[in-house]
Structure 1
Amino acid sequence: MRIPHSLPYLANIPRTVLALAALTCMSATAQIPPTPPAADAESKDAKPASQTTLDRVEVTGTASETEQRRASTASKIIIGKEDIERFGDSSVSEVLKRLPGVTTGGRPGRGGDVRMRGMGGGYTQLLVNGERMPPGFSLDNLPPDQVERIEVLRAPTAEYGARAVAGTINIVLKEALKKTLNEVKLGLGAEQDRLSPSASWTRNDKFGEHIAYTLTLSVNKSDSRDDNDTRTRWYDLPTGNQLLDQHETGYGTNHREGVHLNGRVQIGLGQGESLILMPFFVMSQSNSFTQSQLDQAAGGAIAQPYASYTSEGDGRFTMMRTNAQWQKNLGDGNRVELRYGVGGGTYESHSVRNELDTTGALNRTVADQSSTKENGWNLTGKLSQQLASEHSLVSGLELDSSKRRQSRTTLQNGLPILTDFGDDLNASSMRVATYIQDEWNASKQISAYAGLRWEGIETSSDSDAYDVRNRSSVLTPLLHATWRPDEKSRDQWRTSLTRSYKSATLSDLIARPSISQRFPTGANEVGSPDRAGNPNLAPELARGFELAYEHYLDKGGLLSANFFHRRISDLMRNVVALEDVSWSTDKRWVSRPQNVGNATAQGIELEAKFRLDEMWPTALPVSVRTNVSFFDSSVDQVPGPNNRLEGQPKGTANIGADYKFRGLPLSVGASVNYTPAYDLQLSDIQSNTMGAKVVTDAFLVWFINPKAQLRLSANNLAPRDYLNTSSILSGTQRQDNESDNPSHIRWGARLELKL
């Protein structure tokens, strides 16, 4: 395999980390016994296929999610298949909103970007099978039928990576054979008389004695409509007079189709040795249409840019990845793993916007077409050793590389714009990481974890007009500990001291601008600026502290409280300023990401899971799941009050319960997700108010027979409008925007058959 020229970057790895990793590898090499003769995968000393580690976090045997959580030294929450499928959600992001401290950015019932601790903008590390996905991939498009479990790590670990200021969510797709299974699920969703069918097929089986496989195929089609109501007003602050009043109403429809294929093939190569192949394929395409009417009060200081517009667009995303993982037990608790992955994705989009004047005549057309292709590979090596005094030592080296080619053409009234920046963009990134971690039991009551990770990223991009180079590296020490006051106690305390970081994305770094839709017929306003990147961004660094208490109940329940604190430096935030730009002879309002200073974030997460008869013996065995989180943050360089991290609410809460009837083949349940309204001061001139979100879900399962069941669901059962407002100052004037977005009930039915 040819190693890219960027690998001299390895020379920058701190010598202490490389030395520790090298010593570990040499120590293990000395312990490698002679290669044993080939043995059956089912032999006495071989690890059963169903128990082989398929992902970075090891799951042992058939331990319940609660038992795995209790045994982990680093704070980890595991959500199993039953909880994932309980409410018949249409997307993984809707499942995640019920987890402690997790919020989503969309309107009620619509999923959206996933945030831990309410921290958006890349603070949450999202992985699929332990890997980051390419641009264009969205959890909103991933059906829950593809998922085996969800792992939530509240603090970073050396093995998973430190790009997780808020935490890590790892989506683990269907695993290799646990039991022979041939299952079909047929679903139908309905919202506003629009139907969304889906189907999935899962097959678990064996080829002979040494090969086990899992194959899951999902197809889905969705049809939705969203109504929008936006009002914009300009005021003159000295006089209080209203300068402008615009009211825009309209709707948008979106049609989406998707195919997801996930497979795992596990091959037993001999005693304690296996090879795992993991293909993953995604294809989705969408078509959208938007129609909007703009009414402007007479006498406005700014000419009305249009009276109405229509916009049509389509997009297509395709991704294929294949991973191969080889692992071998070396004896005495030692194991070596190698993992290689290769894949690529393409994303193509096309849109046309037609703006009409008050007479219905066409006065502007903007057509935008883009194509993005990304290919990459990754190579990971990991060595696990079981040392004396119950020390479990793991060291590893990670390499990954990706290359992106993007072409874009923007036409206004048939003529190209932004020609100075070129239509083609080539970009590449190279990441190198090495780590070492030790987990041990200091006593029967104390377990500890110490890790050290170095990670370096080099990003480069070029077009006809400019080149961008950005290098960053971070050394992250990590400490976790668990203390049980009594070795037989059901109580335990956790604490963590960590360092994590957030790196700039390629779109944050490249300088190619995105022009405001109103350019040039309407004013380039401070509230609708152009957007551009900043190649000089530095990564954000965060020092973290966690303290948690957990009490485990007799029948599998749990009570916990978790406090977290983060101190962030070199905070990145989009800043709007009036600039001299190359794409216009006049100064333009431009929004660029900047390192603006420091910030602090903290909060507490409370969680309870139990059956009512655990608390009150005479009660019905109703399963209750509830959590409440409180968040707070402040940005030092932004005046208060409400100078919080962007997008962070003051908290979130969930309460849910389900019950299986005695003597009846029925199970029912419901949950309520609540995120309160909050105010946000983004800068000395920008502020937002986000409305409250309340999402009520319910389900009923009819167990027809041992091989068939029918699941009925209602998501967003009590729909309410989602109201957002923003305000921005420009000299002696203020612009206020108010957006009112209604939501709707989504009904669902799914027939689940075991063939």
Structure 2
Amino acid sequence: MTPEDEAPQDEAPPAEVAAPDDAAISEAEQAEIDAALAEDAPHCSGTGVEGVVRDAQTRETMIEAPVIVVGRGARVLTDYDGRFAIDLPPGTYSLRSYYDLYQPTRVDDVVVTRGECTTIELELSSETTTGEEIVIEVRAERGTAASQLRMRREAVGSQDAISSEEIRRAPDSTASEVVRRMVGVTTRDDFVYIRGLGSRYVSTMLNGVVVPSTDPDVAGVQLDIFPASLLESVTVRKTFTPDVPGAWAGGLMNIQTQSYPTDFQLRLNLSFGINSENSFQETLGYQSGGLDFLAFDDGTRALPDLVRDTDLQSRDITGDQLRDASMSFPNTWGVGERTSWPNLSGGFSMGDTVDIDGHLLGYLVVAGYRYSERPLPDIIASVQLRDPEDPDSVTLRESLQQDGVRRVAQLSALGTVTYELAEHHNVTLVGLFSQNSDDFAAIISGRSETTNSDIRDFRISWVQRTLGFGQLLGEHTHLFGTSRLNWQLNLSSVQRDQPDLRDLRYVISEEGVARWAPSASSGQRFYSTLDDVTYGGGLDITVPFEHFEARFGGLASRTERDFQTRRFNWRLSLSAPPETALLPPEELFGPQSLESALRIAETSRDDDSYYASQTLLGAYASLEWRPISALRIAGGVRAESFRQIVESRPVFAGPDDEITGTRRTDVDPLPSASVVVEPISNMFVRASYGGTVARPLVRELAPFLFVDFVRRRTITGNPDLERTYIHNFDLRWEWFPSENEVLAVSGFAKVFESPIEQTIVTSAGDLSYSNIAGAENYGAEIEARVHLGHIVPQLDWISVGTNVTLVYSRARLTDEQRNQATNSERPLAGQPPYVINVSLGFTPPDTGLSFYAYYNVFGPRLEDVGLQGIPDVYQQPWHTVDATIRWDVDDTFGLSLSGRNLLFQRIDLTQGGFVVTGYQPGTTVVLSASYSP
């Protein structure tokens, strides 16, 4: 008989001990809780291992923590109570587990006996003050809201993020729609603005690599090229640290693509949407290509072969050659009616992690398609100043009506593969492809001030953008003790093609007779191509000590851009019969007229095309010191050398042609310092300073003249622009009551030296770019994400979120600019005074249902800066309410219904009290279904 058997069975229980002041759970109480949880916990079916994964410090269980059987490829995720079970044959095994921002753990010599379930407990430690290294053995799941909040909690500076878990809840289809849910973030034409700053003041990265601009005429990256289905997370850094490029001020946005799942996963989804303004209604169309719906032009709009390699401006060109060139263009000028399609989208993803001879390999393949039709601005107006001495004498110069539609299509694909070369050594290959098209067809009518008559314009435009991105990454840990090395190589290609932009104007007489009005833009066909290739690499080395962590590294990047345009006009010959101009477009440009009455003329400018290159070299060193667990002090410096060459040249440049351009090199030291204090557990106060820059972009330097035919104005670059230096100050208080909740209050200040702005330079509203003397930007952010369970425990399934951004900015002008400016005291361009987001979520337990509603509004935003008495242009506040309801029928099938712009709000831009452009985007309702066997 054992000593335990000899122990008395009726011994009186010990006297009750008073609970300590902190109400800590006793071992006996913990055992009762564990026993209760174990009743519904997963169990192995007969022979295997089962157990629980816990936080070693708090003893909280870890939800969806991977548990791996080393060498066998067996892998499971813990359930809601942190428990797991794996069936295994008898033998001795090693198990390991990991979690974001925790040290991985490994338990060896786990013995499994036939007919028994061996029980173990895995503990993950989040303590980092001992100098031990945090190692992510296999890339962990970062797509949950909880994991993003943990990363935010451990960050040195201020940052915000939205996870794929949150993205799936909202009715958003692209990254540009996703990011406007974040604190202090707005979008304009799919370009992002952070803390009221956009274009050159926001840098966009994909998996840690800066993405080149996809538009030659606008600074920044249009985020609609990134489908929401490809995103694992979107993070916005608002504090500069030396380990990232320093060309930004508002924020540094990093788009992280999805990583491979821990178990086999297959997902299919399909969506069908209807817009109140155009779906199934009669709208405009034209003769187009057969692959338009796939976002590819099939060659229908291509520049004719006869013209592509021929300089029609050459003195050696003959009349017969001009006639043949004119005949080679397709006779596609007219705009007719067609029925609008509904919005459609579909997606597919598949991934898994497999064991190959003891080495883990994870893969993911994602593909998607999206098609939508959107209304165009229904008003195009401009203003004039009747009396230069009277600022109140602003009147409408002209007001035109536009009828038309934009058709947007997108194809996308993502592939990622991660291979474990050896323990602590992984390599990852990522490939991304995105193909986008924007098809525009419109008829503009009304009274034109230019011609002093009624007009009828036909406008057709097609733009397709292609992004190809490849990246090879390496992660190596346990080097020379506890050091880490991360490296990456990248190659990206951006192509933008705008073939056969057409603009044709007819003047309507008092008798109602339409006559073609030849001009520089009426009867024009415009072709442009942009090819941008960027390649480079970088490395980061981290060396941890007992209370210090040193980081240093660098990057090199080179971008080469080639932009070419061709412009062609048709002109009436002096001998043409007068009635020729009265013909409709198809007859006006038909073979008979081209034979006798019309002649082509190439009107390309010498500065229409340019070549540009950018070379960036950067190196940094930083140090983080943690003298006590509640205090972190970090600082460092980054040095960047940026060389930029922009050369304007004719398309058919000869050896004797003059090449004009800009060559410049900027070398900038960018310091950074921050302090993080944790006064109580999970509460942080962060203070930081960082110096960053904003460099003029190629488009802003190139003297290329672009005609904005939507707003009827021109935009020209300025080769004399200077780079901007920005001093950034941040202060943030954050409290994380639980892993899914946060309360935060932030304050920031930014001081700009020589900021770049887009300004109106003529009374007709034409634009260019210039440096102003300086500017200041001040603001505050308030954020809350909580569950009502804190108030009523039974309502823990109701969540509320809100964030408010208040911004005040002031532009400081030079004396010359102050004399020309309409308003000498004004905010920075693109700056709204406030941004408000509110969200409400319901996830009733055991129903499979969830409902989320979102409200967003931003204040009046300065769009264009006026000069010489011409008023500034402002976008008026736009209130939007979006909502989505989802029903997970079972583990494999789900349905969702979503609505966007449920308040049916218009978008209007005003100037001097007049609406100069605006439209009704309508309400869109989308029904989606998903299947995951």
- TM-score, structure 2 length as denominator? 0.69
Match of 1:614 in 2: 790
Tell me if the contact between 2:761 and 2:867 (Cα under 8 Å) persists in the aligned partners: no
Q: Write out per-residue CA displacement over residues 177-215 of structure 1, whole angstroms, 9 at most, x where no aligned residue.
A: 333211111112221324121111111113433321111
Instruction: Please list, as runs of the form range in 1=range in 2, the aligned pairs for 1:603-642 lying within 5 A after superposition.
Output: 603-617=779-793, 619=795, 621-637=797-813
**2:380 equivalent in structure 1:** 230
Within the alignment, does 1:325 sit opposite 2:473 as a pair? yes
Pairing partner for 1:466 from 660, 664, 674: 660
**Residue 741 of structure 2 is aligned to residue 557 of structure 1:** yes
SS in 1 for 2:199: coil
1:481-503 per-residue CA deviation (whole Å, 9 max, x = no partner) reads: 210224xx332211111111111
2:476–2:486 CA contact under 8 A, matched in 1: yes
Q: In the superposition, relative to structure 1, how do residues 213 and 662 fare at CA in structure 2: closer, same or farther (>3 Å)? A: closer
Please say which structure displays the higher CA radius of gyration.
2
Measure how far apart 1:717 and its partner are: 0.7
Q: CA deviation at 1:665?
A: 2.7
Q: How does 1:57-68 map to 2 (within 5 A)?
A: 64-68=147-151
- How far apart, CA to CA, are the structure 2 residues paired with 1:44 and 1:260? 40
Distance 2:489 2:729 in 1: 34
The CA deviation at 1:409 is 0.4
Q: Percent identity?
A: 17
The correspondence for 1:437, drawn from 600, 603, 622, is: 622
Structure 1 residue 396: Cα displacement: 0.9
SS in structure 2 of the partner of residue 393 of structure 1 = strand
Aligned to 2:166, the other structure's residue is in SS state: helix
Secondary structure class of the residue paired with 1:327:
strand
**Which residue, out of 340, 354, 360, partners 2:489?**
340
In structure 2, the CA distance between the partners of 1:80 and 1:574, relative to structure 1 (3 Å rule), is closer
Write the distance in 2 (CA, Å) between the matches of 1:54 and 1:328: 10
Partner of residue 204, structure 1: 351
User: Residue type matched to 1:398 in 2?
Assistant: L
How far apart in 2 are the matches of 1:516 and 1:70?
Answer: 45
Q: Describe the SS at the equivalent of 1:499.
A: strand
| Residues 1:98 and 1:447: Cα distance change in structure 2 (over 3 Å) | same
| Aligned residue among 407, 412, 418 for 2:569 | 412
For 2:722 and 2:96, the matched residues in 1 are separated by: 48
Query: Structure 2 residue aligned with 1:362, among 516, 524, 531?
Result: 516
Could you tell me how far apart the structure 2 residues matched to 1:98 and 1:379 are?
Answer: 32
Deviation readout 1:651-685 (Å, 9 max, x if unpaired): 01111111112443321121111113356893553
- 1:741 aligned residue: 919
1:131 maps to which residue? 209
Asked whether the equivalents of residues 643 and 682 of structure 1 are also in contact (C-alpha less than 8 Å), the reply is no
Corresponding residue of 1:536: 720
- Any idea what SS the aligned residue of 1:556 has? coil
TM alignment of 1:263-662, pairs within 5 A: 263-296=415-448, 302-304=450-452, 307-329=455-477, 330-350=479-499, 351-358=501-508, 359-363=513-517, 364-389=522-547, 391-413=548-570, 414-421=600-607, 424-462=609-647, 463-464=649-650, 465-486=659-680, 489-515=681-707, 530-554=714-738, 556-577=740-761, 591-617=767-793, 619=795, 621-637=797-813, 643-662=826-845
SS in 1 for 2:224: helix
Q: Secondary structure at the match of 1:164?
A: coil
CA distance in 2, matches of 1:681, 1:575: 6
Residue 251 of structure 2 corresponds to residue 163 of structure 1 = no
1:368-424 superposed Cα distances (whole Å, 9 cap, x missing partner): 1011112221111221111232x2221111011121122110123332224333x54
Q: Flag the 1:667–1:63 CA change in 2: closer, same or farther, 3 A.
A: closer
Q: 1:124·1:168 contact (CA, 8 Å) conserved in 2?
A: yes
Match of 1:732 in 2: none
Measured after TM superposition, the shift of residue 224 of structure 1 is 2.1
Q: Helix, strand or coil for the counterpart of 2:376?
A: strand
1:417-451 per-residue CA deviation (whole Å, 9 max, x = no partner) reads 24333x54222111111111222322111112212
Report the 3-state secondary structure (helix = DSSP H, G, I; strand = E; otherwise coil) of the residue aligned with 1:94. helix
Mapped partners of 1:411, 1:55: distance in 2:
57
The one-letter amino acid of 1:216's match is V
Matched, 1:151 2:252: no
The residue type equivalent to 1:290 in the other structure is: A
- The separation in 1 between residues aligned to 2:211 and 2:614, in whole angstroms, is 14
Amino acid at match of 1:247: S
Number of paired residues? Answer: 681
Which shifted more, 639-648 or 650-659?
639-648
Q: CA deviation at 1:549?
A: 0.9
* Alpha-carbon separation, structure 2, partners of 1:207 and 1:57: 15
Contact 2:144/2:164 (8 A) holds in 1:
no
Cα distance between partner residues in 1 of 2:370 and 2:159: 31
Give the C-alpha shift of residue 173 in structure 1.
0.5
Q: Which amino acid aligns with 2:843?
A: K
> CA, structure 1 residues 641+681, in 2 after alignment: closer, same or farther (shift >3 Å)?
farther
Name 2:414's counterpart in structure 1.
Answer: 262
Uncovered stretches (5+) of structure 1, i.e. residues with no partner: 1-38, 107-111, 519-526, 579-586, 728-734
Check whether the contact 2:369–2:412 (CA below 8 A) recurs between aligned residues.
yes
Q: Secondary structure at the match of 1:693?
A: coil
- 8 Å CA contact 1:247–1:295 kept in 2: the answer is yes
Highest RCO, 1 vs 2 (Cα 8 Å, sep ≥ 6)? 1
Among candidates 72, 78, 92, match of residue 161 of structure 2: 78
Contact 2:142 2:232 in 1 (8 A): no
Identify the residue that residue 932 of structure 2 maps to in structure 1.
Answer: 754
Secondary structure of the structure 2 residue equivalent to 1:165: coil
User: For the residues of structure 2 that align with 1:394 and 1:45, how far apart are their CA atoms?
Assistant: 32
Letter of the 1:445 counterpart = A
Shift of 1:270: 1.4
> Which one-letter code corresponds to 1:531 in the other structure?
I
Q: CA deviation at 1:512?
A: 2.1
Q: Aligned to 2:523, what secondary structure does the other structure show? A: strand
Matched-pair contact (CA < 8 Å) for 2:493–2:533 = yes
CA contact (8 A) 2:381 2:396 kept: no
State the alpha-carbon separation in 2 of the partners of residues 743 and 328 from structure 1: 49
Matching residue's letter, 2:147: S
Equivalence for 1:95: 178
Once the two structures are TM-superposed, the CA of residue 78 in structure 1 deviates from its matched residue by: 2.5
**SS class of match (2:613):** strand
Superposition TM-score, scaled by structure 1 size = 0.84
**Structure 2 counterpart of 1:14:** none
Q: Secondary structure at the match of 1:122?
A: helix
Paired residue type of 2:879: V
Seen in structure 2, the aligned counterparts of structure 1 residues 293 and 455 have a Cα distance that, compared at 3 Å, is same
Contact 2:671 2:691 in 1 (8 A): yes
The answer to whether the Cα contact below 8 Å between 1:86 and 1:699 also exists between their aligned partners in 2 is: yes
* AA aligned opposite 1:360: A
Q: How far, CA to CA, are the matches of 2:428 and 2:739 in structure 1? A: 36
1:472·1:538 contact (CA, 8 Å) conserved in 2?
no
**Structure 2 residues without counterparts, runs of 5 or longer:** 1-69, 74-92, 105-134, 215-220, 280-340, 571-599, 651-658
Contact 1:46 1:272 in 2 (8 A): no
- Secondary structure of 1:69's partner? helix
